[in-house]
Amino acid sequence: MTDTSTTGRYDARRRVSTETKASVKTSELIAFVVVTLAVLIASQIVDNFDAQHAWLYASLLTIGYMISRGLAKSGSRDFYDDTVARDDRR
């Protein structure tokens, strides 16, 4: 699309992408937070499930979440339109 207004500026739209969606927009984050909270709460309620094991499982969940985000970033794109003025391109 072009814009030829009285100023003489030429605006064009281009299709650009980020590497992947923001983490707060994924279901992985919601699942990670819910399960981690469930593990920590369960360690307070269940008698033979102590805090040491709960934090170990929380750490393992964190590692799993980091790996899943890394795999998601390795092959996906999040496309969006960007308006670029011709004067700004170099």
What pLDDT does 69 receive?
A: 81
What pLDDT does 59 receive?
A: 96
What pLDDT does 63 receive?
A: 95
Residue 11 contacts residue 3 (beta carbons within 8 Å): yes
Q: Is the pTM of this model over 0.85?
A: no
Helix, strand, coil % in the chain, rounded to nearest 5: 55, 20, 25
List of residues 6+ apart from 72 with CB closer than 8 A: 20, 21, 26, 28
What pLDDT does 12 receive?
A: 59
What pLDDT does 68 receive?
A: 84
Per-residue pLDDT reduced to its tens digit, 49-74: 999 999 999 999 999 998 988 877 77
Per-residue pLDDT reduced to its tens digit, 24-50: 777 888 899 999 999 999 999 998 999
